[in-house]
Structure 1
């Protein structure tokens, strides 16, 4: 199959990568796993046994109503937590093959919805926001835009830095969350070739 390149002749790409069917369940699983992997998981609470303070029984066993031991019991304000949270990992295992299939499915759906655009290059040599805004208008993209370059240089990052909802990533940093969350994705031809080589 062929993808149109803005301002140049179309480029031939793999039908397997950019024409695969949309797999919503798999994409949901991969996006959830990717976001969970970024969670710190550092929440910690003290259980009854970890609380500081005396363990002395503060009242006699009988004749005073309910029986209690010490004030560190969860029933008291300032006491320990019954099922105390401890630091843990939220990581979910996703097979490498499934991850690649999900990325292929996302890219194919973006292409079907005409939200995937390909350019020869961004042509941003100076870190000028005005130049980037002009380029966005030329490409006719709006909303949340993701620019994917094979070698995103500093000038490109700086030119896009002050524009809301515009993100620049290197092709090696491409991930399902940024793809799913974008209204438009703009790839360079070289980035497209690297992605095809990676996902084929």
Structure 2
């Protein structure tokens, strides 16, 4: 399929042919749901455990005589009531490390890209090169381009430094290289903005 290419000044810059195998497949909610869940689970840190009675490095020798001490009977110093003893009913270790087939992950990314094309929420720019990192100037360009409530902007191998700095203070605008493309970020923004270089990188990622 063909899509119009525009510049940052909202001027026409020809067309680009999008690969139907990457940008033209039918999206499935179940595949996208699986990939997003996998991403969010992978982002979670390991829940660290506390040391319980059996984990504390203290002597197992009986604390005192069973009778005659005038205090309660204790088996050893690892009991939770003592300083340095084990934690009673402590937190258990939980390691969030799910697995998902590479083919499913790749399919999910293709579907997320295709969904943006189908809903006309994909904009292709010639490039995002700026000479100066001026936020006000970039805001004026964004108003012309119509990015919607939020936008994810992807460039080729390296994001233009001036553009990255200028967009830092703009809410709901995120910038990344094509190498970081993922389902969650694409679906989490109303508009997806790709440069010509980003389109080439994404297509090469699946066809290479």
What range describes the TM-score normalised by the shorter chain of this pair? 0.7 to 0.9
Which residue, 127, 130, 133 being the options, matches 1:121? 127
Which residue, 190, 201, 206 being the options, matches 1:194? 201
Matches within 5 A, 1:45-194: 45-51=50-56, 56=62, 80-82=87-89, 84-86=91-93, 89-150=95-156, 151-194=158-201
How many Å apart are 1:123 and its aligned residue? 3.7
Unaligned 5+ segments in structure 1 are 62-66
CA distance in 2, matches of 1:18, 1:108: 4
User: Do 1:148 and 1:187's aligned partners in 2 also have CA atoms closer than 8 Å?
Assistant: yes
Unaligned 5+ segments in structure 2 are 7-11, 68-72
CA distance in 1, matches of 2:20, 2:48: 45
Is 1:39 the counterpart of 2:44? The answer is yes
Aligned to 1:4: 4
Aligned to 1:64: none
Question: Normalization by structure 2: what TM-score?
Answer: 0.80
Q: 1:71 to 1:156 in 2, by over 3 A?
A: same
Aligned to 2:34: 29
User: RMSD between aligned alpha carbons?
Assistant: 2.8
Q: Could you tell which deviates more after superposition, 153-162 or 46-55?
A: 46-55
Which residue, 5, 16, 20 being the options, matches 1:15? 20
Q: 1:80 to 1:129 in 2, by over 3 A?
A: same
How many Å apart are 1:20 and its aligned residue? 0.5
User: Do 1:45 and 1:81's aligned partners in 2 also have CA atoms closer than 8 Å?
Assistant: no
How many Å apart are 1:84 and its aligned residue? 3.9
Tell me which stretches of 4 or more aligned residues in structure 1 moved more than 3 Å: 51-61, 67-76, 81-84
- Secondary structure of the equivalent of 2:27? coil
Question: How many residue pairs get matched?
Answer: 195
